[in-house]
Amino acid sequence: MAVKSPTDRLDEILTFFQISRAQLAQTLGVPEQAVDRWATGRGEPRGVNLRELGRLGELMDLLLQVKGSTDAAQAWLAEPNAAFGGSSPMQIVLTRGPLQVLNYLEMPDEPAYA
């Protein structure tokens, strides 16, 4: 399997999570121009932003593995979830980042595996 370029991976993340560059920028707390530079290959994320993008990619990969399809994963992300106080996992990702959702999915007794 070929290694994907950072711009290809970023495009995958934006498409999978159905978010715009502006929404990603807001989630990461960076100017939209920064995400535009990453998306066009004129710059690369570093530090915390690189870590958070990695977590988004990890969450995407895990959801595809657990749910079996993009449609099923996106449906799960959109549904309110009691584990997140009634918020959808996607709301948590957009407001707090992907770590809380990743941790939830990685718990051995997580119902998403059922």
Which amino acid, 80? P
- Which residue is it, tokens 């595809």? 64
Give me the chain's average pLDDT, please.
92
Average pLDDT over residues 50-59: 95
Q: Please, what is the angle between helix 89-96 and helix 21-28, to 10°?
A: 60
**Rounded to an integer, what distance in angstroms lies between the CA atom of residue 66 and that of residue 105?**
9
Contacts of 78 (CB under 8 A, 6+ apart): 88, 90
Question: Which three-class secondary structure state does DSSP give residue 3?
Answer: coil
**Contact at 8 Å (CB) between 67 and 73?**
yes
**Rounded to an integer, what distance in angstroms lies between the CA atom of residue 7 and that of residue 21?**
12
CA distances from 78 to 31, 47, 50, 81, 87 (A): 26, 29, 25, 9, 9
Q: pLDDT grade, residue 2 (50/70/90)?
A: low
**What is the structure's pLDDT at 6?**
82
Least confident of 3-17, 43-57, 62-76: 3-17
Q: Where are the domains of the chain?
A: 6-113
**What is the structure's pLDDT at 110?**
56
Dump pLDDT digits (tens) for 77-109: 999 999 999 999 999 999 999 999 999 998 876
